[in-house]
Amino acid sequence: MKLQEGLFDRKDENKGGLTLKETQMLKGVLEGCVLTLIQQGNGTIYGYELVQQLKAAGFTTIVGGTIYPLLQKLEKNGQIAGVMKKSPEGPDRKYFTLTASGEAALADFTQQWRQLEQKVNLLIGVEKL
């Protein structure tokens, strides 16, 4: 089976290990990850903090220029609600919560992710159904 050109890169030529380009895979799951963090934040998370939490989780290539447009899209689509609040340091911050639509989108994402994960794990021999 031939893989899509450019999907795999040699990350470390000395080790010769192939790694999947994180950015290609992340495109499909970033929205679900952001919805998850907003749900976990329970109204106490803002854009910069989202970026920091994603980086702490290992998504080191994430930048604000990726997250802020996504937050605007989610808010415009009614999946999240933002409220401006005073910040103890610096300018006011926009804190986010999930709406009912966002909760439903997160539930759908979680279900679809688990199904996909199970199929991929079966193919690569990690887990049997």
- Predicted confidence at residue 28, as pLDDT, reads 81
Report percent pLDDT > 90 for the chain: 63
pLDDT classification of 2: cutoffs 50, 70, 90: very low
Within a domain: residue 124? no
Asked, for residue 79, whether it belongs to a domain, the answer is yes
DSSP string, 37-102: HHHHHTT-EEHHHHHHHHHHTT-TT--HHHHHHHHHHHHHTTSEEEEEE--SSSS-EEEEEE-HHH
Q: Is residue 17 part of a domain?
A: no
Minimal CA–CA distance to 80: which of 31, 28, 118, 119? 31
Domain range spanning residue 37? Answer: 30-113
Number of domains forming the structure of the chain: 1
pLDDT band at 4 (very low <50, low <70, confident <90, very high): very low
**Which one, of 4, 3, 68, lies nearest residue 30 by Cα?**
68
pLDDT (tens digit, 9 = 90+) per residue, 103-127? 999 999 999 999 999 999 999 987 5
In a domain, 1, yes or no: no
Q: Tell whether 6 is covered by a domain.
A: no
Q: Taking the model in full, what pTM does it have? A: 0.79
In a domain, 120, yes or no: no
Give domain status of residue 100, yes or no: yes
Q: Is residue 22 part of a domain?
A: no
pLDDT of residue 87: 87
pLDDT at 82 over 90: yes
CATH assignment of the domain containing 54: 1.10.10.10
